[in-house]
Amino acid sequence: MRSRTRIYDNGLVHVRAYLNEAAQRALLGEIEAVIAAAPLFQPRMPKTDKPFSVRMTNCGPLGWVSDRNGYRYQMAHPETGRPWPDIPGMVLEAWKELAHYPHEPEACLVNFYEPSARMGLHQDRDEEDFAAPVVSLSLGSSCIFRFGGRTRGGPTQALELASGDAVVLAGDARLAYHGVARIIPGSSSLLGGNRVNLTLRRVSKPRCDALMMPQKRDQNDDRNWNTDQPEQ
Ligand SMILES: O=C(O)CCC(=O)C(=O)O
Ligand SMILES: [Mn+2]
């Protein structure tokens, strides 16, 4: 049987069908509840104020937003002013299983793609701690996901992300440029042609690593215990 997990040269992990169909439907129910509490909003590009083609919302203590003042994480929804809803339990379970990182995620960005939406190549770099991976889960229509290296304009590779697939950006892949080139029509009936992607992120550097993992620390070595982190 073909393995469901592929690890690319830069460390990007793609797990096909990480969630089976029942789990995808259950997750969709959880995300509908998140959207009911924290409605989708239209992010805009800093400076130009141009709207993104995706709409988004968040769950977790922090949420990622973008408007003419810039990209940032904040504790409240930009339109309702209310705190973001909690991250659903099954999403936290996926983080525990896939992230190999000993602290909880602080933000779960929910991107909602209509069939014509896309996302330009970018790095996820608004977080303090690049030792923590970004874990993504996809639902609904498949998409062509592109990723490259850590510099803009280099070669990229394409992979198809389907409903239920997971991706982990860790190690060298953590700061890889990536984006969604297009949605594939007719690829899923789960969301009527639309696609939802969740990305789980640790935003702040954990303050308690010394207490969590004392055996991994060397008294003369002040680096983060996670040796997967590339030297800065
Ligand atoms: O939709 C995706 O698969 C990727 C989303 C993404 O890169 C992001 O939200 O930063
Ligand atoms: Mn991203």
Domains of the chain as residue ranges with CATH: 5-205 (2.60.120.590)
| Nearest Cα residue to atom 6 of ligand 1 | 179
Percent of the chain with pLDDT over 90: 87
| Nearest Cα residue to atom 2 of ligand 1 | 197
Mean pLDDT of 15-34: 98
Q: 213 pLDDT band (50/70/90 cuts)?
A: low
Mean pLDDT of 205-217: 61
**Separation of CA 223 and ligand 1 centre (Å):** 29
- Can you give the pLDDT at residue 52? 97
| Nearest Cα residue to atom 10 of ligand 1 | 124
Q: 222 pLDDT band (50/70/90 cuts)?
A: very low
Q: Model's pTM, two decimal places?
A: 0.89
Mean pLDDT of 50-56: 97
pLDDT at 13 over 80: yes
Ligand 1, CB within 6 Å, residue ranges: 109, 111, 119, 124, 136, 138, 145, 161, 178, 180, 197, 199
pLDDT digits (tens, 9 = 90+) for 122-156: 999 999 989 999 999 999 999 999 999 999 999 99
Q: 218 pLDDT band (50/70/90 cuts)?
A: very low
**Separation of CA 199 and ligand 1 centre (Å):** 7
**Ligand closest in space to the Cα of 199:** 1
Give the DSSP per-residue string, the chain.
---SEEE-TT--EEETTSS-HHHHHHHHHHHHHHHHHS--B--B-TTT-PBPSSEEEEESSBEEEEETTEEEEESB-TTT-PBPPPPPHHHHHHHHHHS--SS--SEEEEEEE-TT--EEEE----SS-TTS-EEEEEEES-EEEEE--SSTTS--EEEEE-TT-EEEE-GGGGG--EEEEEE-TTS-TTTTT-EEEEEEE--SPPS-HHHH-GGG--TT--S-S-TTSPP-
Q: What is the mean pLDDT of the chain?
A: 91
| Nearest Cα residue to atom 3 of ligand 1 | 197
Q: 207 pLDDT band (50/70/90 cuts)?
A: confident
